[in-house]
Chain A
Amino acid sequence: MRQVVRYTAMLLRAYVRDRSAVFFSLLLPLMFMLIFGALNLGAFGHVTMGIVDEARNADSRRFVDQLAGIGELTVREGALDDEKARLSRSERDMVVAIPADFRLAPPQPGASVPTLLVYANDGRAQQVAVGRAILQQLIAETSFAVTRTSPVVQLTQEQVSAVRLRYVDFLVPGILGMNVMQLAIFSVAFALVADKQRGVLRRIMATPFRPIRFLTSQVLLRLVLSVIQILILLGVALLVFKVQVVGSVLDLLVLTTLGSIAFLTVGFTLAGWAETVNQVPQFFLSGVFFPTDVVPPLLKPISEHAPLTYLNDAVREVSTQGATLWDVRGDVLGLAVWSIVGFLLAVRFFKFQTS
């Protein structure tokens, strides 16, 4: 045990000095998250609406104030030319022009009603659709109020999901899963296979150091790194991007740690089998570890049971649906089975030297 702890500490020391390893396992995922955050993918259902108020009367003010009070909208006012220029620079999703004759009064028979002119950013069709729907809704409500009638049909909506989730809330669990996998498999496989090729492992095996202790130390190091990585990513997600985790953060940590163990055993199996680093990517191109909807039907059962599928499902359930570990026990079991099978394979087939 003392030997394992001492060796793990030495491995950690080398790891900290290895700039490329630190970059790929900690900085790169962080940058990914920051880039996604900066691109504002989180503001998926959010609409920036420019308003050109040419009426400038009490009615148009009331209408604009009502729009400004809607949570999904960011309302900006300006002159028509200016707003259209901003639209073309994608600073606006849509621009609404309120005509000079705008007023909120019951329509006179034969007279035309004021017409709102909408300029849409065709690159942001989704936001435009949301914005139009909001406008329609507000027009309908205003009409009923002004004409003192009631709608003939009513729509009530029941909120199903208690928490409103943004895109980034779905994105973060995915990033966590990918990173746990990349650290556990790629970094283990590349580092160990490179050491194998250079004869480092052979040199170590010429000492009485027992292989099981060697592997245990390597697993421990990666587990420590995984937990640190998860804590950093989760911390940034929670504090900087205010990502909402519906379930318990502790459950997420437990799941991702379990996921790490499953991937680590897979990584060690791979590292034990491969003789050159070139064989590592080959293994991944086989697609076994990427759950995807476009896989051929024949491979579907495999992809459904891939460790990343289990991990992502479970993390997503906990993070966006508030599931507990017990709720996702199927995924937990899947990861546990992968861990055990992977460990047995790694111990059985690990080769310390190239033949």
Chain B
Amino acid sequence: MTTPIISVTDLRKRYGEIEAVRGISFTVAEGEVFGLLGPNGAGKTTTVEILEGLRNADSGTASVAGIDVARDPTGVKRRIGVQLQASAFPEHYTTKEVVELFGIFYDRTVDALALLRQVDLADRASQRQEKLSGGQRQRLSIAVALVNEPRVIFLDEPTTGLDPQARRNLWALVQSIRDRGITVLLTTHYLDEAEVLCDRVAIIDEGRIVALAPPRTLIADLLGRGFTKPVLQQQANLEDVFLDLTGHELRED
């Protein structure tokens, strides 16, 4: 493997009594889609926010695109794109203006329409950002994450709260970003999402990595240990029924 684009060694972070991250280590290769999985409160978001330069770790080291996050958080921010959980864009701007605004923050001139076209939002360019649907807003935040032509983008629970159509649409978008050679680190608690998108996943629980491998390997390992599902695996599930009945077409108006 060549030099990893993200490398994390023994990262720890404590909030008062709670130890959110207890010694996490992993690396991500350039061009990979890497998933951090885990139940709520497992430490995914804290780990990602440390990598994004938004929080300081108590100990351990993290580097992104060859830059030590603790030493030069601004340098890291300049090279990554982010989509944060529980964040919002400033109000009273159109979709296009939001992209331009973030162009100002990165101190570069951007072709906002071209970026919106990449996330299929060009027809919403002059619409107020507040009026976008959930799926459209997630796509806008991906367009914003691409403003600075990053080498890595961080997506924190990008599909939470979206309907099945919008989720699938976002998956396609993530795959197109990966196809352009951009490394993607995403967190999710949807396992089907990880299975579809991720080259490798790390499963985190109570601040520790409990498994790290490609999804297929993890499944094969489990089966290899003699695991069988108590119920017969169906050839389709309820989501397939839902999509069959309602189609893959996006509903956003």
Contacts and interface: CB of A to CB of B under 8 A. Distances in A.
B104 A10 contact: yes
A138 to B, nearest CB: 63
A13 B92 CA distance: 8
Contacts of B148: 207
Contacts of B105: 3, 7, 204, 207-209
Contacts of B93: 10, 13-14
B107 A18 contact: no
A242 interface: no
A14 B91 contact: yes
Given A10-B97, A200-B88, A208 B52 contact: no
A202 B52 CA distance: 11
Interface stretch (B34-42, B77-85, B205-213, B232-240): B77-85
B86 A199 contact: yes
Contacts of A7: 101, 104-105
A199 B54 CA distance: 12
Nearest to A16: B92
Contacts of A28: none
A3 B107 contact: yes
A208 B74 contact: yes
- Looking at chain B's contact residues, the main secondary structure is loop
B86 A14 contact: no
Given A7-B104, A206-B82, A207-B105, A18 B77 contact: no
Nearest to A195: B90
Contact of B92 (A14, A203, A206, A209): A14
A193 B54 CA distance: 19
A230 B107 CA distance: 33
Contact of B54 (A10, A13, A202): A202
Nearest to A14: B92
A234 to B, nearest CB: 28
Contact of B101 (A10, A199, A210): A10
B89 A18 contact: no
A209 B53 CA distance: 13
A203 B91 contact: no
A181 B53 CA distance: 36
Interface in B185-222: none
Contact of B102 (A13, A14, A195, A207): A207
Interface string A160-176: 00000000000000000
Interface in B46-99: 52-54, 74-75, 77-78, 82, 84, 86-93, 97
28 contacts: A2-B107, A3-B105, A3-B107, A6-B104, A7-B101, A7-B105, A10-B93, A10-B97, A10-B104, A13-B92, A14-B90, A14-B91, A18-B91, A199-B84, A199-B88, A200-B89, A200-B90, A203-B84, A203-B87, A203-B89, A206-B77, A207-B77, A207-B106, A208-B75, A208-B77, A208-B105, A209-B106, A210-B74
Interface of B: 52-54, 74-75, 77-78, 82, 84, 86-93, 97, 100-102, 104-107, 148
Query: Which 7 A-B residue pairings sit nearest by Cβ, starting from the closest?
Result: A199-B87, A14-B92, A209-B105, A207-B105, A203-B87, A198-B88, A17-B92
